A = this chain, B = another copy of it.
Amino acid sequence: MNAIGRTTWVIADGYIPAWSNGPEPEMVSHETFSVLNAGEQEATVEVVIYYADREPVGPYRIQVAGRRVKHLRFNDLVDPEPVPLGRDYAAVLQSDVPVVVQHTRLDSRQSENAVFSTLAYPA
């Protein structure tokens, strides 16, 4: 299997809902980026977070082994700093090998969860 996808992906509507209902960890409001690395070579993905009113933050560095998928919560990014809850952001992902990225949010601010998912934009 060869590598599939692109090396630059964009998520324009980033937002982690600030509160939650339901059992942890599944029902905690969260936002995910899923990275499939279908090729043989390990991928190093650099994520830069853009905000409305301050300079971009990053890169956050993530490794995805070859022939593996990683579903990552923006909530879990901590270095260089956590992504704040309840605040508008965007993300640009740059990988050194082709990958495919999908963007998903689970919103449990009301007692029943809502969820969406969409392809990220392949630049």
Interface residues of A (CB under 8 A from B): 1, 4-5, 8, 10-15, 17-18, 22, 26-27, 32, 34-36, 38, 48, 50-53, 55-56, 67-71, 86, 88-90, 92, 100-123
Output the nearest chain B residue to A67 by Cβ-Cβ distance. B56
| A51 and B38 alpha carbons, distance in the complex (Å) | 10
Kindly identify which residue among B51, B53, B106, B117 contacts A118, using a CB–CB cutoff of 8 Å.
B117
| Given pairs A52-B68, A119-B121, 11 additional interface contacts (CB within 8 A) | A10-B38, A26-B86, A36-B50, A38-B90, A50-B68, A50-B69, A52-B70, A52-B71, A55-B67, A71-B88, A105-B117
Q: Which 8 A-B pairs have the closest CB atoms?
A: A13-B34, A69-B90, A112-B112, A12-B102, A13-B102, A36-B90, A12-B34, A71-B88
Report chain B residues within 8 Å CB of A53.
68
B118 with A119: CB separation less than 8 A = yes
Complex-state Cα separation, A100 to B104, whole angstroms: 17
Contact for A104 among B13, B69, B70, B106, CB less than 8 A: B13
Interface centre among A4, A8, A27 (most CB of B within 10 A): A4
